[in-house]
Amino acid sequence: MLRGFESRPLRHEGVASVQSRPTFYCQGVTMPQQSHLDPSSFFLEGGPVGVLLIHGFTGAPTEMRLIGDYLHQRGLTVSGPLLPGHGTTIEDMNRTPWTAWVGCAERSLTHLRDHCETVFVGGLSMGALLTLYLAAHRPDLPGAIIYSPATWVANRLLFLSPLFKHLIPSRPKPGESDLTDPEAELRLWHYDENPLFAAHELLKLIRQVRRLLPQVICPLLVIHSTSDTAIHPTSAQRTYEGAGSSDKELITLHNSGHCLTVDSEWEFVAQKTHEFIQAHR
């Protein structure tokens, strides 16, 4: 969950708008920050169509579990891996290069393909970056789902992480959340601080993915919210426009925060995800 690098735009209430155009288990020993939640990977066995769901920066598969359960109840096989350096300690995360996150995503995709005939990939925030990375290198993907893509972030402090990381190992996250559902925070496992060595690795991944966007040619669904304070307000639109896909759709929400997979409109997000998969399976 990408918090601590955000701005505070105004919120807008309203309905969603749409713009269109024609497990592998990777975790170590866990030390939960939210004791009521388990940050471990999950694998929900279903039918021959699979979905890989990748969580965000400093978060855990709990971010993707509601969407995963919704899809599994409709017959899909769902994998939600725990990325390296997550679900353990800040120190672990500060020792993890961005290539380890990519490697975990690639192995998770291979593992799910061994179980399913067709596999889609979706990801939230940094998980969206990893999804785009996979899509750029796997043009045979039947489709990719991008939630709150961190391709452009709100606060320029992230770009100072190469300097700050040598001064302090981590930076506290803000107490205020952009989530609109009071219960949403209870569905999330995440670190309470942003590890700055890892933030620099996130920056490296962002730069890689921006360059790769024209190579993303599979069908693409992008979902974001105007109430998101973690990514730049234009991030989803720029990601949508930069992707090389000819078959792509952009959905804009107005009553969800950055982690829209667990917030007030999560069921609408899950429904649109399922519709996209059904249309492209």
CA distance 133 to 127: 10
| pLDDT 10s digits, 36-77 | 589 999 999 999 999 999 999 999 999 999 999 999 999 999
Closest CA to 229 of 257, 264, 261: 257
The yes-or-no verdict on residue 267 having pLDDT over 60 is: yes
CATH numbers and ranges of domains, the chain: 17-280 (3.40.50.1820)
The yes-or-no verdict on residue 10 having pLDDT over 90 is: no
Q: How confident is the model at residue 192 (pLDDT cuts 50, 70, 90)?
A: confident
Which spans in the chain are helix H? 62-72, 90-94, 98-115, 126-137, 161-164, 196-212, 235-242, 266-280
Among 41, 79, 108, 125, the one annotated catalytic: 125
Among 148, 228, 263, 274, the one annotated catalytic: 228
| pLDDT 10s digits, 163-190 | 777 678 788 877 678 999 999 988 999 8
Among 258, 263, 264, 274, the one annotated catalytic: 258
CA distance 272 to 270: 6
Please indicate whether residue 228 is annotated as part of the active site: yes
CA distance 197 to 140: 34
Q: Which residues contact 173 (CB under 8 A, 6 or more apart)?
A: 3, 4, 191, 192, 193, 194
> Could you give the 3-state DSSP secondary structure of residue 15?
coil
Question: What is the value of pTM for the model shown?
Answer: 0.87
Please indicate whether residue 258 is annotated as part of the active site: yes
Q: How confident is the model at residue 12 (pLDDT cuts 50, 70, 90)?
A: very low
Q: What is the pLDDT of residue 1?
A: 60
> Could you give the 3-state DSSP secondary structure of residue 270?
helix
